[in-house]
Amino acid sequence: MTRQHEGRQRRRLTATEVDVERVRQRALLVGTGTGTRDVEEAEESLAELARLADTAGADAVEVVLQRRDTPDPATYIGKGKAEELRELAVALDIDVVIFDDELAPAQQRNLERIFAVDVVDRVALILDIFAQHAGSQEGMVQVELAQLRYRLPRLRGRGGSLSQQGGGIGTRGPGETQLEVDRRRIQRRVTRLEQDLRALGRTRETQRKSRRRHALPTVALVGYTNAGKSTLLNRITEAEVLVEDRLFSTLDPTTRRMRLPGGEVVLVSDTVGFVRRLPHQLVEAFRSTLEEVAEADLLLHVVDAGAADLAGQIQAVHAVLAEIGAGELPEHLVVNKVDTVDDATRAEVLAELPGAIAVSARDGEGIADLLALIGRRLRALSRIVELAVPYDRGDVLAALHREGEVLVEVHDAEAVRVRARIPDATAGRFAEFVVA
């Protein structure tokens, strides 16, 4: 082991620490073309794995793609290939070996014995990124719960190695100290976290009920990670959400009010980005957060115009939406970052996605058209009614202005005659004032 390598091993971080001088880890990435994935798909997945590793704090020094019909039950890649890669890892002074697929606990243990360095899989890598980016209390609870659910079956045979005092990719997170204890105590910790998450979920549900009482239409921004959802939210609502050119820079949902050109007030929510093969542990842990999506009136599916595998990313997002019960919600594709591609690519992408609207959240191109589209889509979910509001019911008149779109307002001797567009969801509140 080189002195430089020893230095990297000495100083590792937890998710709660900050160290601007942290030395980045050197990573060997390993992918396979097992199953139905072809070589091109496997290569694209490995390219994404490199971006994930970069976000987690590692440099992809070398990338290896192996074609196999089925994974080896002991080492995933076969003992001979594992020995070959061990020699490569030694020659390249590798700190961590990252696999693009989920490893079984036994496979991970066997590989670590062969490589003599940390071995993590795609799931652990994504969990590590979430651990680094979780900021709210709910986000940290969600991440810790997901990490413990992932690590619990990996306790057997690893002894004290799960203490993770060394740190590094796959080891960070708010649950480190619990990993030194036995399975029973970890299970108790999981139970407590589930209770905490349910309590936080009740708080979030109370907030949603409050919004439903005001009957404001809700638009949710969904899409692949780093598609530019937060930048778009900032552009249309002036939310000032942190924007980084990193995967999963947004974990905690942000909801802001926005007034459309027609005067309607709507709520716009930014949500966590999705990714291929998003760990089931995370989907389950973040279910209360993702419910913000499931209850939206309209989904704006934001995609990156320059994405290498746009169809695959769209499919990955749809898979998660279906899992959380949002697969049937009204949806409109928004092709973002059109300022980053040439005219030919732009035309090709829009031809592949008929009906999609092209925007640049960064420079404002197409935003006016997008806002007009949101208004049209939401109006299709509303109705126009004639109402007679008594003069002593100023609260009703105020609610009509706040929650709907007042088209005509006439004051006569008996009441205020109003012609308004109101959401279907709130029509019952004004039923007694509707004029037949």
pLDDT band at 96 (very low <50, low <70, confident <90, very high): very high
What's the pLDDT at 348? 95
pLDDT band at 158 (very low <50, low <70, confident <90, very high): very low
CATH of the domain at 426: 3.30.70
Same-domain pairing of 353 and 333: yes
What's the pLDDT at 178? 43
What's the pLDDT at 135? 65
In this predicted structure, the answer to whether residue 93 has a pLDDT above a threshold of 90 is yes
198 domain-assigned: no
Percent of the chain with pLDDT over 70: 79
The residues pairing with 339 across neighbouring beta strands, listed in sequence order, are none
Over range 50-55, report the average pLDDT: 90
186 domain-assigned: no
Structure tokens at 45: 């997945």
User: What is the phi/psi pair of residue 367, to 5°?
Assistant: -65, -40
CA dihedral 291, 292, 293, 298 (to 10 degrees): 140
Same-domain pairing of 28 and 176: yes
pLDDT band at 177 (very low <50, low <70, confident <90, very high): very low
Higher pLDDT, 349 or 185: 349
Over range 36-42, report the average pLDDT: 72
Determine contact, residues 52/31, Cβ cutoff 8 Å.
Answer: no
In this predicted structure, the answer to whether residue 139 has a pLDDT above a threshold of 90 is no
Same-domain pairing of 307 and 366: yes
Same-domain pairing of 252 and 142: no
Structure tokens at 374: 């949101």
What's the pLDDT at 11? 39
What's the pLDDT at 55? 87
pLDDT band at 128 (very low <50, low <70, confident <90, very high): confident
Structure tokens at 168: 């590094």
Number of domains comprising the chain = 3
CATH of the domain at 310: 3.40.50.300
CATH of the domain at 46: 3.40.50.11060
Same-domain pairing of 364 and 399: no
d(CA 112, CA 91): 17
Same-domain pairing of 289 and 390: no
pLDDT band at 325 (very low <50, low <70, confident <90, very high): confident
d(CA 362, CA 359): 9
Cα 273 to the chain's mean position, in Å?
2
Over range 285-297, report the average pLDDT: 74
Over range 90-112, report the average pLDDT: 94
Query: pLDDT (tens digit, 9 = 90+) per residue, 253-272?
Result: 678 888 888 887 888 988 77
Same-domain pairing of 157 and 241: no
36 domain-assigned: yes
151 domain-assigned: yes
CA-only gyration radius of the chain, Å: 25
In this predicted structure, the answer to whether residue 428 has a pLDDT above a threshold of 90 is no
What's the pLDDT at 165? 45
Query: pLDDT (tens digit, 9 = 90+) per residue, 209-248?
Result: 655 555 578 899 999 988 999 899 989 987 665 555 555 5
Q: What is the span of the domain harbouring residue 238?
A: 216-378
The residues pairing with 304 across neighbouring beta strands, listed in sequence order, are 336
229 domain-assigned: yes
Same-domain pairing of 226 and 276: yes
d(CA 230, CA 241): 6
Higher pLDDT, 169 or 98: 98
Structure tokens at 161: 């190695």
Over range 357-379, report the average pLDDT: 93
In this predicted structure, the answer to whether residue 285 has a pLDDT above a threshold of 90 is no
What's the pLDDT at 120? 93
163 domain-assigned: yes
- Quote the mean pLDDT of the chain: 81
What is the torsional sign of CA 354, 356, 357, 360?
A: negative
Determine contact, residues 270/233, Cβ cutoff 8 Å.
Answer: yes
7 domain-assigned: yes
Structure tokens at 366: 């197409």
Same-domain pairing of 407 and 308: no
4: how many CB neighbours lie within 10 A of its CB?
11
What's the pLDDT at 244? 54
Same-domain pairing of 388 and 339: no
pLDDT band at 148 (very low <50, low <70, confident <90, very high): confident
* HSE-up of residue 255 (Cα within 13 Å, Cβ side): 18
d(CA 6, CA 38): 39
62 domain-assigned: yes
What's the pLDDT at 7? 47
What's the pLDDT at 301? 96
Over range 118-138, report the average pLDDT: 83
In this predicted structure, the answer to whether residue 166 has a pLDDT above a threshold of 80 is no
What's the pLDDT at 34? 64
What's the pLDDT at 204? 67
Same-domain pairing of 361 and 392: no
Same-domain pairing of 354 and 393: no
What's the pLDDT at 170? 63
Query: pLDDT (tens digit, 9 = 90+) per residue, 385-419?
Result: 899 999 999 898 988 887 777 889 999 888 999 99
User: CA of 100: how far to CAs of 28, 224, 264, 425, in Å?
Assistant: 11, 18, 46, 44
What's the pLDDT at 171? 56
* pTM score: 0.71
